Amino acid sequence: MPDLMQDSSRGDADEIERVNVELYEAGGEEGSGFHVFNITDDQYHRAEVLQRTGAIDITCSLKKVVHGAMSADSDRYATLIVMEWGFQPRSSRRISEATVELLFESSSPDSVIEVEKISFEDTYSLMPTTQEETLTKSGEVTIGAEQIVSLGLTGKWEKSVSRTGSDAITLCGGRRLVNNRPPNCIASWRLSENQSQRTGIPALLKVAILVSRDDQEKFSCKLAFTCKTDLKTAVESLFKKIPKDDPIIFQPNPNEKGTRPNKNVSYGDEELGSLNLDELCEVTFRRIISDGQKFRI
């Protein structure tokens, strides 16, 4: 799996900084977040996937897990996973781009695990906007004195061209190989802001993954996350390297609940291969309270 977390680079045009959430703020913002540990080796289906707090709060929780089968005529087991990511900048702060990568690995070297389907597997446009743009070109033209003596020797010309531009928030999802070897074991999504408005990415991204397996042995999911923030957020942060977040451990055996069980986990013979994963997910730019007033007598 490629390491997205190594380098930081500043964008000149947008004044943005690539920030690694495997780093925490040693100074600067109060209440800086640390990486998330498993309580014990048998904490399965950890509900609190990731949590960072500071100038921008970044969270991820495991909302639903279903262990079942791909189909009635398949010998492959399957697991449905639903995760919810939240991005909450403070004040004028913003995230202009965020990338999520999930790497699934089997606990046995002889077992094959594969990301069969993911939600939003394509390139999507959200909240498109249009704007009128006018481009004016100008220059000077010289008039010969022998042609028109009564006019000045130079004149100006202008040409205006109007066009309609469009832009949108972009969501790209895909499945990838590890070290160019099948099958696909990585699920990834990238959110990018509307370049015309520059108001940041959506506040919520709920995604679903369908994983197929050879056996009923436990398996794990490693997280990678990068984002680009506004320059002010990046400059105020002092970073120090700490260990990565612990992988999420999935246990298909219903008799092995482990420490601190996640109540959003179910087991059975449900056929998961025909599910439409997009129906389980959502993208929300901002939640609006239409009537927030409450009167008491």
In the chain, what percentage of residues exceed pLDDT 90? 46
Q: Say what the pLDDT of residue 42 is.
A: 94
DSSP summary character for residue 120: T
For residues 56-82, one letter each, b for 16 or more C-beta atoms within 10 angstroms of the residue's C-beta and e for the rest, the string is bebbbbbbbbbbbbbeeeeebbbbbbb
Q: Say what the pLDDT of residue 102 is.
A: 96
As a whole number of Å, the CA-based R_g of the chain is 26
Whether 144 maps to a domain, the answer reads no
Which structural domain range is residue 239 located in?
A: 10-130+168-284
Whether 158 maps to a domain, the answer reads no
Whether 88 maps to a domain, the answer reads yes
Sequential DSSP letters for 30-88: TT---PPPPSSTT--S-SEEEEE-SSEEEEEEEEEEEEEES-TT---EEEEEEEEEEEE
pLDDT at 2 over 80: no
pLDDT at 214 over 90: yes
Whether 29 maps to a domain, the answer reads yes
Q: Say what the pLDDT of residue 296 is.
A: 72
Q: How many domains does the chain have?
A: 1
Q: Say what the pLDDT of residue 198 is.
A: 84
In the chain, what percentage of residues exceed pLDDT 70? 71
Whether 155 maps to a domain, the answer reads no
For residues 205-217, one letter each, b for 16 or more C-beta atoms within 10 angstroms of the residue's C-beta and e for the rest, the string is bbbbbbbbbebeb
Q: Say what the pLDDT of residue 134 is.
A: 66
pLDDT at 34 over 90: no
pLDDT at 207 over 80: yes
Q: What is the overall mean pLDDT for the chain?
A: 79
Whether 16 maps to a domain, the answer reads yes
Residues 39-63 have pLDDT tens digits of 999 999 999 998 887 778 889 999 9
Residues 248-285 have pLDDT tens digits of 999 999 999 999 999 999 998 899 999 999 999 999 98
CB 221 within 8 Å of CB 18: no
Q: Say what the pLDDT of residue 8 is.
A: 38
Residues 142-161 have pLDDT tens digits of 555 454 444 455 555 666 66
Q: Which amino acid is at 52?
A: R
Residues 76-124 have pLDDT tens digits of 999 999 999 999 887 778 888 899 999 999 988 888 999 999 999 999 9
Q: Say what the pLDDT of residue 69 is.
A: 95
Whether 97 maps to a domain, the answer reads yes
Q: Say what the pLDDT of residue 14 is.
A: 45
Whether 201 maps to a domain, the answer reads yes
Alpha helices in the chain (DSSP H): 231-236
Better-scored residue on pLDDT, 218 or 18: 218
265-271/56-69 β-pairing: parallel
Contacts 24+ apart (CB under 8 A), 37-40: 37/245, 37/246, 38/246, 38/247, 38/249, 39/259, 39/260, 40/258, 40/259
